[in-house]
Structure 1
Amino acid sequence: MAAFQRCNSTPARSFPRGSVALTGGPLLAALDRSIATALAHDPQRFLAPYRREAGLPAVAESYGDWESRGLDGHIGGHYLSALSHLYAATGREDILERLRAMLDGLQECQDAVGTGYLGGTPRGVALGEELREGRIDAEPFALNGRWVPMYNLHKVFNGLIDAYDAACQDDALTMAIAWADWWMGISAQLSDAQIEQILTAEFGGMNDAFFRLATITGREDLVAEARRWSHRLLLDPLIAGEDRLNGLHANTQVPKVVGYARSGAPDLVDAAHVFWDEVVGDRTVSIGGHGVREHFHALDDFRPMILDPMGPESCNTFGMLALTDLFRQDSSRLDLVEYAERAILNHALTAQHPEHGGFVYFSPMRPAHYRVYSSHGESMWCCVGSGLEGHCRYDRFLFSRDGDSPRVEMFEPAVLDWDGLRVEVRADLTREWRVEIDVAAEAPHRRPVRVRIPDWTDGAVLAVDGETEDVAPGVGEVALDRVWEGTTRLVLELRPRLTIERLPDGSPWASFRYGPFVLAHRDGADDLEGMIATGDGAPHLALGPKRRMIETPAVLANGPDGVLELAAQGATATLTAWRLDGDEPVEVTLALEPYAGIHDERCTVYFPVGESAEEPREMLRRLDLDEQEDADVVDLVAPGEQQSEMDHGYVSEASRIEWIYAARWRMAEGWFSYVLKPRTPGAHVVRIRTLVDRPDGTEGAVVRLAGEVATPVATEQRNIPLYGDIVEALYAVDVPAEGVEVRFEAGSGGATAGVVAVALMTPAS
């Protein structure tokens, strides 16, 4: 292995592995839960789909849910990465034993196939041969009839690289190179146009993985291959400095951009910075997450963020933190640190339950709604995979360095032991705003030690061994350039600022942030159906009822003065607001606390705001009216949305997704179908919405319900926000307990209409 870059290499502004240790607080608790979660899973069950695809006899049953529904093997790749980083963080032998079990099992599978291929993707070996022959049928969430197979295969490819880079397992690098060579043999037969066609389907961070492997091995052919995986659909607008993200699946794009940042190529790195600025500056809500229903919605309309229970996705924030960390290796920009702190404390940490360790898919910004948590061994979503990985790497955000000058960046209990200097941070900002930092030197020497002064504080008082000085607001950091000898105590007394943060589109909704913490109000633990995802399909969506929007208390003031009373210590507050669901406004007093600490309960982060009651009352009533027509919906498919379609048995022939702005629809020159299920069998109505002129269905196009050509009982042309002009057709159908197939077929030589929504409804009373 001497010709390769050594494992555990240290980026320029980071510290060698083992230099930073968590000593308490929520980050250490998250690490401990991650260890327990990793040990609660069985490597042999993760290996089961790999053994099946390699033609080896089964030794354990595969996990269910997504691991048995087409994404077989994807969590196994995440698990490999998680074990690698957990071992690097802890050095625990029981973690290493799990890692070795995975690697030994994967080696057996790769050897059995014999080509270098390694994966659990259904019919994955055959997929390689299909692509080699130029047979490519790609749409955003499917490739040659398989559910995002390259995304799936990326997970094990990247996991092998992690096992070498983080955990120094040499055989993992050998397997990764063999996998890459297998793919290079296929790629050599394909034109750039064919590669671009393959990239239509979600492929995870495949470009990032090839860039990583190229850096380790020094192989220029892998650099060239990584460039071929740079999807022009996303890359070209970014290079031009344009925001064309509306309507795109967010978690498809973020990993691509991590690859651009990793490349070192000026054009790709610049594109990655444009993306970061667009997402963080214009699309991120106060908790540090973005996206609704997994997608980038319209930049100038954040109503979906407030209305839809499927708010920011955990995978997206995981990816944005990875991107931010890459940028931090080349820059001391404080806005990178500010975003990382916001996203970790207010989103990433909240996406893991503090007791049972279940992971969260969506974090609703809808008022008085709730999160759903995975159950170990049953839930196998993408956010379970990124959750397994993400909570063991927070230590990389606590400190940075410029040469021999370290900087304390986040105020969490931790120790940096490096280059003759020991920096220990003690803090609990949820209780008090005092930070203690002990700097101990093995021998007297001079160097700057820097301490970040966050943007959320109105200055601070800094004491160095008892000698105090005021730190003015906005200075960013304090550099103490001195001879360090023995132990020096720094005490930082912060002055946290209360801010009201509007939604990025400027609409009349606001959240409250005190210091680094986004505040929220608890709204009760009633009707939390499905809060723990178990059983058939382990649904990752909150199944309980949504509260009416008019019940959301409104803040009737232009700023914090007079509406918030802050606690004497810690990060809690009391908000004066107004209920507007009666004839007259009613004043209410609401307790606010850090959003990160609210679990197993409904809560509200964003509140409507206005100078008087009339405007927010009218807005809330209008939103309720818009939602009321869906009150009878018992099941709903959103064509063009990956998870919605896969959850409804989507199959197709010659079908594709199209979109403009934030609107998506599916159409086909062949056919496509879904299965919708009732809560109870019996008479129902299927409501189908199709676009006008984008395209209309050609002659001979039909809708089939349960195999029979169906005729609508009513049709109406309407204008729907985000979609524009649509035709709404209602079909009467008797639905059995197992559900009804809704199938759209094109006529001979024609196409179906563009379908934007399919709903199963109870008949109107």
Structure 2
Amino acid sequence: MTSLQRCRTVVTPARGFPAGAIALTGGPLLAALERSVATALAHDPDRLLAPYRREAGLPAVAEPYGDWESRGLDGHIGGHYVSALSHLYAATGRADILANLRAMLDGLQQCQDAVGTGYLGGVPRGVALGEELRGGTIEAEPFALNGRWVPMYNLHKVLNGLIDAFEAAGQDDALEMALAWADWWMGIAAHLTDAQIEAILTAEFGGMNDAFFRLAALTGREDLEAEGRRWSHRLLLDPLLAGEDRLDGLHANTQVPKVVGYARSGAPDLRGAARVFWDEVVNDRTVSIGGHGVREHFHPKADFRAMVLDPLGPESCNTFGMLQLTDLLRQESDEPALVDFAERAIVNHALTAQHPGHGGFVYFSPLRPAHYRVYSRHGASMWCCVGSGLEGHSRYDRFLFSRDGDSPRVEIYEPARLDWDGIAIEVRADLARSWRVEVDITAETPHDRVVRLRVPDWSDGAEVTVDGEAHPVARGDREVALGGRWEGTSRIVLTLRPVVTAERLPDGSPWASFRYGPFVLAHRDGDDALEGQVAAAPDAPHIALGTKRRMTLTPAVLDADPTAAFTPAAEGATATLSAWRLDGEAPEQVSLDLEPYNAIHDERCTVYWPVGATASEVRDRLAELDADELEDADLVDVVAPGEQQSEMDHAYASQASRIAWTNARSWRLAEDWFSYVVKPKVAGPHLVRIRTLAGVPVGSDDAVVRLGGRVATPATTGMRALPLYGDVTEAVYEVDVPAEGIEVRFEAGAGGVTGGVVAVALLTPPA
């Protein structure tokens, strides 16, 4: 029997169910699945294949998509798309989904055959990249490898898509393509030392270790398992093996896929590291909606101020990855905390990241009070969170049920049906409207087994009846075990008792959100000034750039116990909050309507509320935050050096440049040069403000700043202290900026270095 023949039986996870055993029957999860089908069918396989055809030297048959698909990450959405179609086909069996999947696979096969080495990808100059690496040319920084934007991350998407097409959709040729790609890479890797591989891993590489572990499990090939080990980045892995949290400042979506690979490996040490990471992120860094991170990064876990200030809140890709990780950990553990997190993240973040009407996807979910989300536009927005969004809403069913041997468990109460091993379990629930859940168990022939029902962490116990007869449930029990003989149809009624919790930010700072049952509740704050609320061409920005309301306009909760200000409705998951407006001469008490955050779209909303003992205490704290932001009132555009999307959105280019960190905040310097392009809203006179670390490093005497190609002299310079960075030099330049923007270029000069640049901003001049 060949290794490929052995692959044709896909192993069912120990605590999972065979493909097709679970079906969504209604509710928000099914609605999200159906929207994902429509969104997938709205994309053109020929356009997604265009970068692959270009790199394979084949004639164009369609124009590529724009945005990230034509700015250096060419082809990454194509890989996501294959994964999405594979899981959507597994969930629906729809012929039109399969037709698009076959179009993608046939097109990819043509490209792989044309290259002839097994290589397959849309990465610009991707074929040459392999030869550069084989020859030992490795120039890596966190978001670039040999002058290309995270090429291994990009290539992982298509490799992962091919594996998904085999495992989820049963397409045998997809596995053959994946193995041909792996063999191409193994021919390169044979020439590279472990140190060289580790250098390559400096640049974001997605879940490449995960892909090698998956292929090893499918084929039994030890060389692929060993390669998965080589791709298990020691920079992240070693601290986790030591039980240490060194995540501050790291790019979150670079780390999560690596850890998914650790969990997939099956190796006890790597799986242990994966669990350490999960504990660190979920327990110390995750906010109430189930997401984490600001501006794509792990900010200092002792300071969550950025979470309520920055419009770039938790990133959807990160939660998508954490759900993948949680699912893998669940396969070997029935620990309730795993499902508790999965439910929280699905209900309060993942579902909110897809528009209920047009189906656009969200990149960042701001938790700044009275701010809003931006949604992608199909065919124009090609962000990473569009790719993971295409995939993510097709796989919620995996969290709804589990099993211990032959004993099934209902985990999350959403409309769904499990048909398995002679028994059917159908769940009917709509927790947003009622806390009553009906579970029908049907067995055509008698079955003796235990059926288990999870008691969620958000419920104060439960009441259970089986065919009208009460079943005792002890307070504190996390599950109800119903044993006996099942024959015909029995109806279980589970009545849950939701509790209200006021959840502080993980650092304990004086902000609270309210969770009622599984739902994080929020207040609607109007639909004014939603600039770019649906992203538009040409640049398809993914950031909510509209006006930020002053923090002092945020009502405060002044009760010693914040839950005392919360009054739940008699029915359903809504409530009122008694709060105080502090922006007038005297505090004014107001009653605010709250509803599930996942129901609010196309509007500003507030999730976290300032809390405190007195009005004056909270007012002073909010006023201080406003004062800190006031100096940026004239801000037009800003670059955060060292942050991937900020730099790529500003046409980052460089030679011999690198990123460094101070107190988990990034900055950039170069031995040669680096540059950005900042853009105005309206052409004309502006100020460029550049902040550099004071004397760290000491730039060379002939280092210069060029604006629009000309060496620039600052109009003013000064010193100031910035949180986390410490002392910085602030130089302000006067410049006339054209509509297309102006290049800001830092040059080191002969034999020296540039200063350490922490921020570049474009401002309108004061009146």
Tell me the TM-score range normalised by the shorter chain: over 0.9
C-alpha separation in 2, matches of 1:73 and 1:631:
38
Tell me what 1:326 maps to.
328
Q: 1:301-356 deviations in whole A, cap 9, x for unaligned? A: 00100000000000000000000000000000100000000000000000000111
Tell me what 1:393 maps to.
395
Q: Give the 3-state SS of the residue equivalent to 2:409 in structure 1.
A: strand
Which of 502, 505, 510 is the matching residue for 1:503?
Answer: 505
C-alpha separation in 1, matches of 2:433 and 2:728:
53
Once the 2 structures are TM-superposed, how far is the Cα of residue 692 of structure 1 from its aligned partner?
A: 1.7
Which of 610, 630, 636 is the matching residue for 2:632?
Answer: 630
Q: Give the 3-state SS of the residue equivalent to 1:758 in structure 2.
A: strand
Tell me what 2:141 maps to.
139
Unaligned runs of 5+ in 1: none
Tell me what 1:76 maps to.
78
C-alpha separation in 2, matches of 1:13 and 1:559:
41
C-alpha separation in 2, matches of 1:525 and 1:14:
43
C-alpha separation in 2, matches of 1:550 and 1:636:
24
C-alpha separation in 2, matches of 1:566 and 1:364:
25
Change (3 A) 1:634 1:255: same
C-alpha separation in 2, matches of 1:319 and 1:542:
23
Contact 1:717 1:728 in 2 (8 A): yes
C-alpha separation in 2, matches of 1:345 and 1:194:
42
Q: Give the 3-state SS of the residue equivalent to 2:402 in structure 1.
A: strand
C-alpha separation in 1, matches of 2:454 and 2:148:
48
Q: Give the 3-state SS of the residue equivalent to 1:374 in structure 2.
A: coil
C-alpha separation in 2, matches of 1:696 and 1:726:
12
Once the 2 structures are TM-superposed, how far is the Cα of residue 561 of structure 1 from its aligned partner?
A: 5.0
Q: Describe how 1:424-573 pairs up with structure 2 within 5 A.
A: 424-560=426-562, 562-573=564-575
Q: Which amino acid aligns with 2:697?
A: P
C-alpha separation in 2, matches of 1:471 and 1:727:
64
Once the 2 structures are TM-superposed, how far is the Cα of residue 627 of structure 1 from its aligned partner?
A: 0.4
Tell me what 2:172 maps to.
170
Q: Which amino acid aligns with 1:94?
A: D
C-alpha separation in 1, matches of 2:481 and 2:210:
35
Which of 315, 318, 336 is the matching residue for 1:313?
Answer: 315
Q: Which amino acid aligns with 2:509?
A: S
Once the 2 structures are TM-superposed, how far is the Cα of residue 113 of structure 1 from its aligned partner?
A: 0.3
Once the 2 structures are TM-superposed, how far is the Cα of residue 562 of structure 1 from its aligned partner?
A: 3.6
C-alpha separation in 2, matches of 1:99 and 1:649:
33
Once the 2 structures are TM-superposed, how far is the Cα of residue 8 of structure 1 from its aligned partner?
A: 4.1
Change (3 A) 1:125 1:558: same
Contact 1:459 1:470 in 2 (8 A): no
Q: Which amino acid aligns with 2:519?
A: F
Of residues 476-485 and 552-561 in structure 1, the stretch that sits farther from structure 2 once superposed is 552-561
Of residues 618-627 and 560-569 in structure 1, the stretch that sits farther from structure 2 once superposed is 560-569
Change (3 A) 1:630 1:218: same
Tell me what 1:406 maps to.
408
Q: Which amino acid aligns with 1:311?
A: G
Tell me what 1:693 maps to.
695
Q: Which amino acid aligns with 2:101?
A: L
C-alpha separation in 1, matches of 2:366 and 2:659:
26
Tell me what 2:350 maps to.
348
2:120 is aligned with 1:124:
no
Tell me what 1:669 maps to.
671
Once the 2 structures are TM-superposed, how far is the Cα of residue 6 of structure 1 from its aligned partner?
A: 2.6
Unaligned runs of 5+ in 2: none
Once the 2 structures are TM-superposed, how far is the Cα of residue 3 of structure 1 from its aligned partner?
A: 3.5
Tell me what 2:753 maps to.
751
Tell me what 1:18 maps to.
20
C-alpha separation in 2, matches of 1:310 and 1:472:
43
Once the 2 structures are TM-superposed, how far is the Cα of residue 5 of structure 1 from its aligned partner?
A: 2.6
Q: Describe how 1:646-725 pairs up with structure 2 within 5 A.
A: 646-725=648-727
C-alpha separation in 2, matches of 1:396 and 1:123:
38
C-alpha separation in 2, matches of 1:727 and 1:252:
31
Q: Describe how 1:574-653 pairs up with structure 2 within 5 A.
A: 574-653=576-655
Q: 1:618-641 deviations in whole A, cap 9, x for unaligned? A: 110000000001111101000000
Once the 2 structures are TM-superposed, how far is the Cα of residue 558 of structure 1 from its aligned partner?
A: 2.1
Once the 2 structures are TM-superposed, how far is the Cα of residue 747 of structure 1 from its aligned partner?
A: 2.0
Once the 2 structures are TM-superposed, how far is the Cα of residue 220 of structure 1 from its aligned partner?
A: 0.3
Tell me what 1:737 maps to.
739
Contact 1:8 1:17 in 2 (8 A): no
Tell me what 1:258 maps to.
260
Q: Give the 3-state SS of the residue equivalent to 2:450 in structure 1.
A: strand
C-alpha separation in 1, matches of 2:13 and 2:382:
32
Q: Give the 3-state SS of the residue equivalent to 1:373 in structure 2.
A: coil
C-alpha separation in 2, matches of 1:13 and 1:102:
32
Tell me what 2:162 maps to.
160
Which of 126, 142, 150 is the matching residue for 1:148?
Answer: 150
C-alpha separation in 2, matches of 1:663 and 1:583:
38
C-alpha separation in 2, matches of 1:561 and 1:746:
56
Contact 1:311 1:365 in 2 (8 A): yes
Contact 1:7 1:167 in 2 (8 A): no
Q: 1:575-623 deviations in whole A, cap 9, x for unaligned? A: 0100111121011110000000000000000000011111111110000
Once the 2 structures are TM-superposed, how far is the Cα of residue 695 of structure 1 from its aligned partner?
A: 1.1
Q: Give the 3-state SS of the residue equivalent to 1:296 in structure 2.
A: coil
Q: Give the 3-state SS of the residue equivalent to 2:460 in structure 1.
A: strand
C-alpha separation in 2, matches of 1:536 and 1:466:
61
C-alpha separation in 2, matches of 1:7 and 1:151:
28
C-alpha separation in 2, matches of 1:563 and 1:665:
43
Which of 82, 105, 108 is the matching residue for 2:107?
Answer: 105
Q: Describe how 1:230-309 pairs up with structure 2 within 5 A.
A: 230-309=232-311
Q: Give the 3-state SS of the residue equivalent to 2:654 in structure 1.
A: strand
Contact 1:517 1:571 in 2 (8 A): yes
Contact 1:88 1:167 in 2 (8 A): yes
Which of 409, 416, 419 is the matching residue for 2:418?
Answer: 416
Contact 1:9 1:165 in 2 (8 A): no
Contact 1:118 1:179 in 2 (8 A): yes
Q: Give the 3-state SS of the residue equivalent to 2:394 in structure 1.
A: coil
Once the 2 structures are TM-superposed, how far is the Cα of residue 681 of structure 1 from its aligned partner?
A: 1.2
- Displacement over 6 Å in runs of 4+: none
Of residues 289-298 and 482-491 in structure 1, the stretch that sits farther from structure 2 once superposed is 482-491
Q: Which amino acid aligns with 1:397?
A: F
C-alpha separation in 2, matches of 1:592 and 1:102:
45
Contact 1:7 1:168 in 2 (8 A): no
C-alpha separation in 1, matches of 2:619 and 2:472:
45
Once the 2 structures are TM-superposed, how far is the Cα of residue 4 of structure 1 from its aligned partner?
A: 2.5
Tell me what 1:35 maps to.
37
Q: Which amino acid aligns with 1:156?
A: V
C-alpha separation in 2, matches of 1:169 and 1:215:
17
Q: 1:732-753 deviations in whole A, cap 9, x for unaligned? A: 1111111111000112111111
Once the 2 structures are TM-superposed, how far is the Cα of residue 659 of structure 1 from its aligned partner?
A: 1.0
Q: Which amino acid aligns with 1:549?
A: M
Q: 1:75-120 deviations in whole A, cap 9, x for unaligned? A: 0000000000011111111111101000000000000000000000
Contact 2:662 2:725 in 1 (8 A): no
Q: 1:362-418 deviations in whole A, cap 9, x for unaligned? A: 000000000000011110000000000000000000000011000000000000010
C-alpha separation in 2, matches of 1:543 and 1:500:
29
Once the 2 structures are TM-superposed, how far is the Cα of residue 470 of structure 1 from its aligned partner?
A: 4.5
Change (3 A) 1:100 1:584: same
C-alpha separation in 1, matches of 2:301 and 2:254:
18
Which of 201, 222, 225 is the matching residue for 2:224?
Answer: 222
Number of matched pairs: 765
Once the 2 structures are TM-superposed, how far is the Cα of residue 7 of structure 1 from its aligned partner?
A: 4.7
Once the 2 structures are TM-superposed, how far is the Cα of residue 696 of structure 1 from its aligned partner?
A: 2.3
Q: Give the 3-state SS of the residue equivalent to 1:297 in structure 2.
A: coil
Q: Which amino acid aligns with 1:45?
A: R
C-alpha separation in 2, matches of 1:716 and 1:232:
41
Q: 1:534-574 deviations in whole A, cap 9, x for unaligned? A: 11111101121100000000000122454111100100000
TM-score, normalisation: structure 1: 0.99
Once the 2 structures are TM-superposed, how far is the Cα of residue 10 of structure 1 from its aligned partner?
A: 1.1
